[in-house]
Amino acid sequence: NSSFPCLTGTFKTYIFPCGSLSQTQQLVCNCLLFVNVSKLHLDALSDKSILCSFSFLTLSKYAPQDDQEDITSFAVSCDDELLVTASRALLLKQWDWRQGTCTRSWKAIHTIPVASMTFDPSSTLLATGGCDATIKVWDVVKQYCTHNLKGSSGVVHLVQFHPDISRLQLFSSSVDCGIRLWDLRSSQCVCVLDSHYSAVTSLSFSKDGDTMISSGRDKICTVWDLKSRQAKRTVPVYETVEGVVLLPEKTDLSQIGVKSKTLHFVTAGSKGVLRVWEASTARCVYTQSLPSTLTPSSEEDKEDDDPRSLTYLFHLPASSRLATVTAEHNILFYQLPSLTTQQQFVGYNDEVLDVKFLGKDDTHIVVATNSCQLKVFQLLTNSCQILYGHTDTVLTLDVFKKGSLFASCAKDRSVRVWQLNSDSGQVRCVAQGSSHTNAVGSISCSRMKASFIVTGSQDCTVKVWDLPAEFSSEEIHQLSPRSTEKAHDKDVNSVSVSPNDKLLASGSQDRTAKLWSLSGDGNLGLLGVFRGHRRGIWSVCFSPVDQILASSSADGTTKLWGLQDFSCLKTFEGHDASVLKVIFVSRGTQLLTSGSDGLVKLWTIKTNECVKTLDAHQDKVWGLHGSRKDDKMVTGSADSNITVWLDVTKVELEEEQAKQEDQILKQQELSNLLHEKKYLKALGLAISLDQPHTVLTVIKAIRQVEDSSDLLETTLLRLRVDQKESLLRYCVVWNTNARNCLDAQAVLQVLLTHLPPEELLQFQGARTHLEGLLPYTERHMERIGRLQQASMFLNYMWQKMRVAGASSG
């Protein structure tokens, strides 16, 4: 019986596996997420928002339990040694991120939380910009505040040191949209650079330090001459810019349109693409192309809230890469000089609505979250590919038998078919169709071969869509339904195709499930109705081996139905809330169910028994899928967690079998040692087995030998300290039984006589053991006392009887 007791991998919210990156790049990866979070959600961070689990650093985990304040800003030193965080408690904390420990903390002096911070190039000075319109500069080596800069208006959301340390200049920006230049020698603001009419988002400096480029949400970038402190050129970029980076000057970047040796810079913003601009001419020389199926009109409509819009841009000069963060907290790495996507990591999953294994050997999982994008994770590296195409929340998924094709449906009333390239690992949309009049909430793929898909919708209809024999490598095939049937009176929550592709089951909110025939002419024929659930049906599934249908319902039950007479064969009760998903495992002999209570239960069909309850989620478990080899399963929940489980039944059986074989061998060895009268080895072996009765057998064998007291004493004193501890523990057990109390007392006599009290008290649990010995020992003494009295009286009577007999004779 499969038991799935072992958690083998958990992909939690905010997980960034960075195993292939250097430490510097890993840290930058962290910077990107936290800057993104602080920019977008600074006023609404909760405890859950800062629970950011990285592959090597968890700030909330290392923080003291009594410090539940949100992290408002943080910075990493340029030498990658220091990490400093600021919290709403107005505390600054310095972390040793390699060890995961807080090395020191101090008051920020700011009267309200810190909004921004940065290190200087020497990693000795730290600047913090507060919401109280002040800037503090700290010497993190000598541990004191060096400057208190006043004069900003409102929240200081941007601080940055000049890359030339000798200039001792600090740039800042606040809500007045000006860029202030501070001279740290005099602690004065020497000038205000005015050009922007909205928030300044980032600054970037040329290699010689004489030119600076600023970006803002007013859709312009400004090129500044820092010698004259004047604006050289204003570049309209026609999008809200969140990040700007000057490209390296002495690098061949002709692939992205850089033809001259003048300054060029990259912008990232609301359009979700990286664009390269020539500073001298204000001309866009390159625009990154994204694989998208959105129409131009929909892109314009969604520019401001496009989930692909970029909120941060960072340059990684050591590896010649650019890193960006999207509005949905996804981190993307682009390789220079081609700006091709190299890696993607997902920062936030939101609610997981469905999850399926993907690939020939289940090497990937595809996840539908509470968004219009699909996410395909490679299980080995956790690297993610984000799929765009749907325009509203994707509700459910299904995978074809070979694992390279899968289908999705969404609230946008459409269905899409996607293909995974087994060589490159890339996924692309190969077919799409839209015919439903309401959200499509269920989908099922054909089982024999990739010939059709079936969808169920909130418009109460079921549609069958034919697929072409082959898909074009360039164009997206347009699907049209071959059959449409009004299947239920309410929303169709689930559809399932039988293993032989001849039957279809549908489950609905109207509390019924129906069985349909899938004929070759494309028509759906109703065969029967399954009635018995008291509330809406969430999921239906065919048995892989029997003519049985399983259904799960909002009434908290799972039922098995016979396909011949449509009768209910079995009912499984155990969930405290709606049962959202049901699948067959273990070759059809067991069921797995997941519910709104966050539990996954394993049922044995033959006995109606729940043999295992898996509790790894805190919210509704919408996604549940088993692997092709039936040795793994994956679950996805509304708590944003995706969990991969491994069936360890075979491993456990092998371990148990090996343990039993080892016990038999040791028992035989023990018998041989007793026969050979090697009592010391026999006693040591018996104690290693941790079997008090076996140890007692050895003690009894020793006490049956002539001069047993000396032999027992010699044997016991040669034992190790841990073995003596075990003997003392066993004596407590033996002493509770009158038949074994003499053996226990004999062992105790040796231990108490030859071991000093100080050594005895060092034994683990010695006080408890000795206290447990006292009452039974007193009881044995009383019993022996009564027996001695009775024997003395009997002896007296016997003597008197002999005297009386002699007199009468």
Strand 134-139 versus strand 6-11 pairing type: unpaired
Strand 321-326 versus strand 310-316 pairing type: antiparallel
Pair of tokens at residue 764: 């683990």
Q: Which CATH number fits domain 10-42+50-194: 2.30.42.10, 2.40.420.20, 2.130.10.10, 3.10.20.30?
A: 2.130.10.10
Full 3-state SS string of 24-49? HHHHHHHHHHHHHHHHHHCCCCCCCC
Q: Is the model's pLDDT at 596 over the cut of 60?
A: yes
Domains 10-42+50-194 and 352-646 alike in fold: yes
CB atoms within 10 A of CB 539: 24
Average pLDDT over residues 53-65: 35
- In the 8-state DSSP scheme, what is residue 287? E
Q: Output the pLDDT for position 803.
A: 64
Burial-class residue 228 by CB neighbours within 10 Å (0-12, 13-18, 19+).
exposed
Q: Output the pLDDT for position 520.
A: 67
Q: Output the pLDDT for position 12.
A: 32
**Structural domain boundaries of the chain?**
10-42+50-194, 352-646, 657-795
**For residue 299, how many C-alpha atoms fall within 13 Å in the half-sphere facing its CB?**
16
What is the identity of the amino acid at 673? L
How far is Cα of residue 233 from the mean position of the Cα atoms in its chain? 47
- In the 8-state DSSP scheme, what is residue 768? H
What is the identity of the amino acid at 90? L
User: Whole-angstrom Cα distance, residue 537 to residue 557?
Assistant: 10
Short-list 61, 151, 42, 45, CA closest to 100? 61
Q: Output the pLDDT for position 328.
A: 81
Pair of tokens at residue 727: 């003997």
User: Whole-angstrom Cα distance, residue 113 to residue 94?
Assistant: 16
Instruction: State phi, psi for 797 to the nearest 5 degrees.
Output: -65, -40
pLDDT digits (tens, 9 = 90+) for 289-342: 865 444 333 444 455 567 678 999 989 888 889 999 988 888 888 888 888 888
Q: Which CATH number fits domain 352-646: 2.130.10.10, 3.40.30.10, 1.10.10.10, 3.40.50.10490?
A: 2.130.10.10
User: Whole-angstrom Cα distance, residue 744 to residue 765?
Assistant: 18
Secondary element (H or E) of residue 434: strand 427-434
Q: Taking the model in full, what pTM does it have?
A: 0.70
Q: Is the model's pLDDT at 250 over the cut of 80?
A: no
User: Whole-angstrom Cα distance, residue 92 to residue 66?
Assistant: 16
pLDDT digits (tens, 9 = 90+) for 78-134: 888 889 999 998 999 999 888 888 899 999 899 999 999 999 999 999 999 999 999
Q: Output the pLDDT for position 54.
A: 31
Secondary element (H or E) of residue 681: helix 679-688
User: Whole-angstrom Cα distance, residue 84 to residue 124?
Assistant: 12
Reduced to 3 states (helix: H, G, I; strand: E, B; else coil), residue 736 is coil
Pair of tokens at residue 329: 């907290």
Pair of tokens at residue 59: 């700030």
What is the identity of the amino acid at 616? A
Q: Output the pLDDT for position 521.
A: 64
Average pLDDT over residues 595-619: 93
β-sheet bridge partners, residue 495: 506
Give the pLDDT band (50/70/90) at residue 343: confident
Cα angle, residue 458 at apex, residues 457 and 464 outer, rounded to 5°: 15
Cα angle, residue 712 at apex, residues 709 and 713 outer, rounded to 5°: 85
Contact 285, 278 (CB under 8 A): yes
Pair of tokens at residue 32: 């990107």
CB atoms within 10 A of CB 200: 25
